[in-house]
Amino acid sequence: MTAADFSTDSSTSGPAPLSPAIAVRDLVKVYGKGDKAKTALHGITLEIPRGSFFGLLGPNGAGKSTLINILAGLVTKTSGSAAVWGHDIDTDTRAARAAIGVVPQELNLDPFFTPREALEFQAGLYGVPKAERRSDEILAALGLTDKANSYARTLSGGMRRRLLVGKALVHTPPVLVLDEPTAGVDIELRQQLWAYVRQLNARGTTVVLTTHYLEEAEALCDHIAIVNHGRIVAHDATPKLLARMDRKDVIVTLEADLAALPPALTELGAELGAELLGPRRLRLHYRPSQMPFGSVLAKLQAAGLAIHDLTTQDADLEDLFLELTRRRAA
């Protein structure tokens, strides 16, 4: 099976147009047996829409990599079902594996291959005819043209990471999985990588991202699922997921130092001189669904404070992530 057998255009022949890019049903994975058995996935059910930029987040050991490795055919599931681009990983294994490209966390490159040789070899493994190979195109897109004939062992960590992305793309998979792709990559290279991945997504490639850089996930992903202890603890469109927090912070800069908090502000969980705020700054917390912002201003006025400046901050993905994972761990 070659890259020509797949298209990110859902109007082509093949799987039903409405089938998701990835569909997982009651997926269980147990490592070991008897008293030493450890369950990594507890009956996960998840659908990832075609064309989405999907974030799969969770703390270390949550089960993210196990799920990805099952989809890629590297780990055998214990029970349940999974399909990639409409192809069941058990009954249509070859097509399922050809429909997905995985960029692993580990920098598993042959040190004696050049980037061009690595891409050509990978394309051969997937049965891509030489006339259809895009090695030079991929190298150029990832900024590796000038290193095309250098040994992989001479590349920097960021370049090796980009080469892994290139290897995952040689067979033009409709689904691209990025497992911690920017770990150890400097800011400039990270921006270049995301610019390229955004282009792929805009052309229809479904992108699944796992990352510990939550600000990246919040900025890039249209849907997010959070995994903890082998279970999905949250799954929704990114804006809806963030709206669950129902929390705003108000940062108040005062005209003069404040020795103690006024009683009127204690019910807002005010912090005085908290870390990074300084002695003239307050942080207040409130829930917009329960208290309008006008009421917060009224309490500040009632406290008789001389205010120099005031800003508000919405809860972000990091806040939600910590709340969900800590709650489940308690």
CB atoms within 10 A of CB 207: 22
What one-character-per-residue DSSP string does 8-70 give?
A: S-TTSSSS-TTS-SEEEEEEEEEES-GGG-EEEEEEEEEEE-TT-EEEEE--TTSSHHHHHHH
Handedness of CA 76, 77, 78, 80 (dihedral sign): negative
Write down the residue that tokens 């369950």 correspond to: 39
CA-based torsion, 277, 281, 287, 288: positive or negative: negative
| Sign of the alpha-carbon dihedral angle for 112, 116, 118, 120 | negative
Distances (CA, A) of 63 to 27, 67, 229, 253: 11, 6, 7, 43
What is residue 254's three-state secondary structure? strand
pLDDT by position in tens, the chain (length 330): 433 344 444 444 454 456 899 999 999 999 998 888 999 999 999 999 999 999 999 888 899 999 999 999 999 999 999 999 999 999 999 999 999 999 988 888 888 999 999 999 999 999 999 999 999 999 998 889 999 999 999 988 888 888 999 999 999 999 999 998 887 777 887 888 889 899 999 999 999 999 888 888 989 999 999 999 999 999 999 988 877 776 778 888 888 887 777 777 877 777 776 554 666 788 887 777 777 888 888 888 888 888 888 887 776 777 777 777 776 544
Tell me if domain 3-242 and domain 246-314 are identical in fold: no
pTM: 0.77
Question: Domain map of the chain by residue range?
Answer: 3-242, 246-314
β-sheet bridge partners, residue 102: 177
- 246-314: which CATH number, 3.40.50.880, 3.30.70.1150, 3.90.1660.10, 3.40.50.10800? 3.30.70.1150
Q: What is the Cα–Cα distance from 266 to 11, expressed in whole angstroms?
A: 59
The token duo for 70 is 């099952």
- Tell which CATH architecture fits domain 3-242: 3-Layer(aba) Sandwich (3.40)
**Would you put residue 14 in left (φ > 0), alpha (ψ -120 to 50) or beta?**
left
What is the helix (H) or strand (E) element at residue 105, kind and residue range?
none
Q: Looking at the chain, which runs of residues are DSSP E strands?
A: 22-31, 38-48, 53-57, 79-84, 87-88, 100-103, 175-179, 206-210, 223-228, 231-237, 248-254, 271-272, 281-286, 307-314
Query: What are the residues facing 234 on neighbouring strands?
Result: 226
